[in-house]
Amino acid sequence: MSGADTAPAAVVFGCAGLSLTPDEISLFRDCEPAGLILFSRNIDTPDQVRRLTDVFREISGNGRILILIDQEGGRVQRLRPPHWPEYPPMRLFGEMAASDRDEAAACVALNYRLIAADLVTLGINVNCAPVLDLPVEGSHEIIGDRAFSDDSALVSTLGQAVCDGLLRGGILPVIKHIPGHGRAFADSHQELPRVDTPVGELRRTDFAPFLDLAGAPAGMTAHIVYSAIDPTCPGSSSRRIVNDTIRDEIGFDGLLFSDDICMKALSGSLSERVASVLDAGCDLALHCDGNFEDMVSIAETCPPLRPDSAARLDSAVELIGDSAEFDRNAAKRRISAFLGGG
């Protein structure tokens, strides 16, 4: 928090290009969003990304304002060669854990420590990882090898290693997609998935990694209907899911982001979608596509952070620290030796 008299708006916005336009600067200065999320369209060179984050930080007047990215590894990494390394997908670590679970966890922590070092130099302080979803046979490939495994205990172990590596590197992790996206047979970017699994089975499987990592500082919801809990509302917009399942049953009390409200799983105007996820109990709505007119519309009605959400934000920000030096080459050699089998 910047120490201003009023809380920021309960939204994280994207932006359109490689630098902020005068209109975006004016909007962000007036609206005071809680953060900015970057995508491939915002990425060119290290110097360019650093200028972009510096400008946003200056506009906000908050040196610790949230600047997010999805840098999971594998298919989902916004920073790519030639300026940044290609990182392995989470599934590869999960597969190699069969040979040595302890070494897998150590290498996962080092892998995300390396990612954290990349992000810190760019002025980014939040990484939307790890994925804690448990894919089932036949489920949509939108999760696929982004998930470590279908073994909930292994996912918990390696997910915790991701969080440890990022936090050691000064980056806030975001566990996703609470309470589980692995059973979805549709891509929530394109349509609303429906999961009809009985709640008892969900508790034994999908919820388990989130229960184990309930103390994580931040998380992200899933735009999925879990019919056994709420047959009508997607998880991100469901008070039963957010309050009863995520907060009470799973026990997660960290900063809770909605998944991207631009996704086609949600319905209604974008302002209505923001209202629905905030009313359900999410702390922050994510609006990711950078459409300026839509951001203006959202800014007109988006409320400031609730007091409880502001307290969670403050607690999360306190965990964003300085990145101490470490031997990057040694970390790379150890990871390579493990994943290469020798």
The full set of domain ranges for the chain reads 10-55+67-340
For domain 10-55+67-340, give the CATH number: 3.20.20.300
Q: What is residue 341's predicted lDDT score, i.e. its pLDDT?
A: 59
Q: Which residues of the chain fall short of a pLDDT of 70?
A: 1-5, 341-342
Active-site residues, by number, are 189, 259
Contact 126, 218 (CB under 8 A): yes
Q: What is residue 137's predicted lDDT score, i.e. its pLDDT?
A: 81
Q: Looking at 96-153, which runs of residues are DSSP E strands? A: 126-127
Q: What is residue 1's predicted lDDT score, i.e. its pLDDT?
A: 37
* pTM for the predicted model, two decimal places: 0.95
Q: Would strands 126-127 and 76-77 be described as parallel, antiparallel, or unpaired?
A: unpaired
Alpha-carbon distance values, 286 to 12, 273, 278, 295 (Å): 5, 10, 11, 11
Q: What is residue 47's predicted lDDT score, i.e. its pLDDT?
A: 98
